Each structure stands twice: as structure tokens, then as C-alpha cells.
Amino acid sequence: MTISTAHTHPDAWRPARLKFAAPLRNERMSANSDHADYLGLENIESWTGRIIEAESKLDDATDDGSAGLSNVFREGDVLFGKLRPYLAKACHAPRDGICSTELLVMRPAEYLHPRFLLYSLLTPDFVGAVDASTFGAKMPRASWDFIGALDIRIPPIDAQSLIANYLDRETVRIDGLIADKERMLALLEEKRAALISRVVTHGLNTDLPMKPSGLEWLGEIPTHWQIERAKNLFTVRDERSDDGSEELLTVSHITGVTSRSEKDVYMFEADDKAGYKRCLPGDLAINTLWAWMGAMGISPLGGIVSPDYHVYTSKGQLLPQYIDLLCRSRPFVAEVNRWSKGVWSSRLRLYPENFFEMRLPIPPHDEQRAIVKAIQADQRKANSLREALQQSITLAKERRAALITAAVTGKIPLEGMVA
């Protein structure tokens, strides 16, 4: 392919305001998150432009008066997330559909290649400029007035196509390397999960005599372990905050109990948290709605949780660190799922009366401590490999971002992009 440089030198690329090159499409319809072609922010992978299937659909909270509506997009449109724009949620629409109103829907002009536009929106400079303009401390958003006024540089359409095709090829290659390393991380996590599931239910010593537990989820246990109902092992803590000023905690099936300030959460956060439940270090906090997925764990810090959560205190037979490992074990999560009640599988809830009927293993304290120590030792060995993989992934993502920036700003000669 012969590339003419007369009009493709970066100095000849013309700047254009985004709102003129890709005007906003303002079609709306009644919201329907069950629509086959519905896209929420959770369905778009950060920085890559890929559309993904989310693990669970949590409705995006809005306070812009658009609740109950969805934006309509058409094939060829480009979508950009205005909520928490630092997440770089943008994609190219492969077909018609509807999306969250937190996604701006742009229709590229005939002189603007949609994928070139998408890559232009996914540069750190563009995302950083948009993020710096946000308003709202709890749910930071950018406005179309600001975003639409930003300039992008536009080469001739044939050069745009060449750049988009080049970036498609190169980002696929980089993404393949990232995926390989992420699979290695997943294997490390799989190994960790399997080890936890085995030792918290059967102990460390495989040579010990075993006995039937009488519980399908538990199978055989060491003969000297005991079995007891949860109601004899835990009490409910139902202390309420006077003014809601304590640290707000959240409970996830991935990270257990953490400070909400450390998480990217789309769900609405109430302004007044008076009456929220207190949770002290060592307490077991269970997200009632998502317990069936494993959203529970021991709190490492004091704070408050949603009134819809339940907080429990161990009576002493089970040590907090052992309980936390038990919450991470797959057999236990499956049993929690069985005891959760609800009409739909995605809306099961674990209430105290059901939790208290669960029967749990009780190893001696010294074995509980040994189990915790063994898991911690295993993780220390894996941490160096995990950190090296994560650093390599970070560097690859930085390389990806730098490549996109260089390509869409003309720093890579077009002749070098020809396949």
C-alpha cells in the first residue's frame, strides 16, 4: 500500500472539536437492563474498548434526573463513560442497542473513522483531561459541554483507517501477552482457593483418622473435630451508629470486608448514615443479598455497614482468622447458597435465622492457628511471583497506552503501519 505524505503529515492533521466531529446522539427509551443488547458501565472493560459480560448486573445509580431511561445507540456509534471517567470506559458499538445513561453516545461524522475516534478517546491525555473536569465528590461525572469542547486531531480518512487497523493488530498482540500473565495469576488464585477449601474442612494432616461429618458439603473430618450449629457459635451484633461518621465498609465476594473508599463502587451511597450498623475488628460481616456469592468475611477494621447487612460476633470456639478462611472456601460458600432464601437465584438472601441453622466444623484452637499460619506461609511464597506478574501486566498496559497515543498523534510514521 502506497501512503501519500502530502496530507498525512501530523502538521496537516486538522483539529476539530469533538461535538462537531462526533455529535451526541440524544435518543432515549425506557430503561430495560434485561434487554439482550443492553450495555452498562460494568459491561465495558477499562482502557481496552472491549465489551464484556459482567459477573452480576448491579444497576448504575444516577442522580441526574435520568433514572428509568436508557440511551439508544446505533451500529457504528462510539460510547464513552461520563461517570468516573478515569476508568476509561469507552467502546465502538458493533450493533444497535441501549445503554446506561452514564454512557455518552456519539455518532462520528462521515470523515471520522469510528475506531480511530475510539482510540483517540482512550489516550491517557484525553481521559486525564476529562477526569480533571468532573464534578461531584461521591459520584464524579464529566459533562458533555466540557467533553464536546475538547479537540481531537483528524488525519485523512484513509490514514485513520490505517491507524485503526494497525492499533487493532498491535493491541491484540499486547493484550495476548497480558492475558497470558493474567491466566498465570488466575492459576495462582485457583491454587490458593483449592488449598483453603481443603485445609479448612479437612485439616493439614492427611494421615489423621477421619469420620463422617454427616454434612454433604463437609464430607469427612478428623475424628477429634466437632460440629456445631452457627447459633451456638455466633451472636448478632446490632449496634447502630449515632451520626454515621464512622468509616464506611463494604463486603465483596472478591476482597471480603474493606473500606468503601478503597473501592470503585457504582451503587448509590446514602448521604445520611445514621442508623448504619457498627462493625468491629474481628466481627463477621455478611452482605445479605450477595452472601450466596461469598460476599462475607471478617472485618480487619472498625466502621459501619449498610443496615441491610448482618454483623456477627464469634463466641470464641472459632477464631476470626479461621472464620475468614472458611468464608473463602468454596464448599462453605456453596452451603451458604443452599441456606439463602429467595424466589430468584440472583436475589437470594441469607438471614440470621437461616445462617444460625448452618452446621460448622470446629477444629481445636491450635489447629485453627496452624491452618491460618500454613495459608499465610503459602501466600508469602506466591507473593513474589504474583507481584512480578502484576508489574509485568502494568508495564504492558503502559506500553499499550503509549502506543495508542503515539499512533493517533502522528508520532509513528504511517509507512511503518502497513501490514
- Predicted confidence at residue 56, as pLDDT, reads 40
pLDDT at 10: 77
Query: Which has the closest alpha carbon to 407: 113, 116, 150, 175?
Result: 116
Q: Cell for 22? A: 462526533
**Mean of pLDDT values over 115-139:** 94
User: Which structural domains are found in the chain, ordered by start?
Assistant: 10-154 (3.90.220.20), 204-362 (3.90.220.20)
What confidence score (pLDDT) does residue 317 get? 97
Please state, rounded to an integer, the average pLDDT across all residues of the chain. Answer: 90
> In this predicted structure, what is the pLDDT of residue 137?
80
Q: What is the pLDDT of residues 80-92, one digit of tens each?
A: 999 999 999 999 9
**Residues in Cβ contact with 263 at an 8 Å cutoff, skipping those fewer than 6 apart:** 250, 252, 255
State the virtual CA torsion across 230, 234, 238, 244 in degrees, nearest 10: -110
Chain centroid to CA 170: 26
pLDDT band at 347 (very low <50, low <70, confident <90, very high): confident
Segment 20-39 shows an average pLDDT of: 82
Tens-place pLDDT, residues 320-336 = 999 999 999 999 999 99
How far is it, in rounded angstroms, from Cα 413 to Cα 55? 41
- What string of DSSP letters covers 260-287? GGGS---S---S--TTPEEE-TT-EEE-
Whether pTM > 0.95 for this model: the answer is no
Supply the pLDDT for residue 364: 97
Residue 31 pLDDT grade (very low, low, confident, very high; cuts 50, 70, 90): low
Return the exposure string of 355-384: e unless at least 16 CB atoms fall within 10 Å of the residue's CB, then b. Answer: bbebbbbbbeeebbebbbeebeeeeeeeee
Q: Tell me, what's the pLDDT at 263?
A: 59
Distance CA(114)–CA(106), nearest Å, equals 9
Q: pLDDT tier at 346 (50, 70, 90 boundaries)?
A: low
Whether the predicted pLDDT of 7 surpasses 70: no
